[in-house]
Amino acid sequence: MAIDTILPDGRGWETAHPRVGAVDNLQEDKFSITGRQGEIHINGANGEQIEIYSTSGILQYRAISDGNDVISLPAGIYIVKVDGKTYKLAI
C-alpha cells in the first residue's frame, strides 16, 4: 500500500502527488486533506469512510464523511485513510 507524503505549504499541509511519467491515466484525488494546529480538515470526500490512526496503529477516529470534516486531535503524526488511499499527515 502506497502512502502519499503531506508537505508544508506555509498555511498548513497539503497532499503532494508524485509525478510518474511512464504511467498513463492517473486519477487525481477528488478530496483534499490539510492539517492545521491540532485539526485535520478533509474536504470533498462526501460519503467516503475516513479512518485516522496514530503512528503506533491505534485508531483515533472513524466516520463517514459529510464532505467538510474537521477532526480535532493532539499535535502529532497521523495516518489518514480516505477512499481506499492512505496518507501520512503531521499536525
Q: Is residue 2 part of a domain?
A: yes
The rounded distance, in Å, linking the Cα atoms of 90 and 8 is 9
Please indicate, yes or no, if residue 27 is contained in any of the structural domains.
no
Enclosing domain of residue 45? 1-7+37-57+73-91
Provide the residue-wise pLDDT of the chain in tens; the chain has 91 residues. 444 555 555 444 444 444 444 444 444 568 889 988 899 999 999 999 999 999 999 999 999 999 999 999 999 999 999 988 999 999 8
Q: What pLDDT sits at residue 18? A: 46
Into how many domains does the chain fold?
Answer: 1
Helices (H) and strands (E) in the chain, counts: 0, 9
Alpha carbon distance 44, 21 (integer Å): 27
DSSP structural state of residue 55: T
Taking every pair of Cα atoms in the chain, the longest distance, rounded to a whole number of angstroms, is: 40
pTM of this prediction?
0.69
* pLDDT number for residue 69: 95
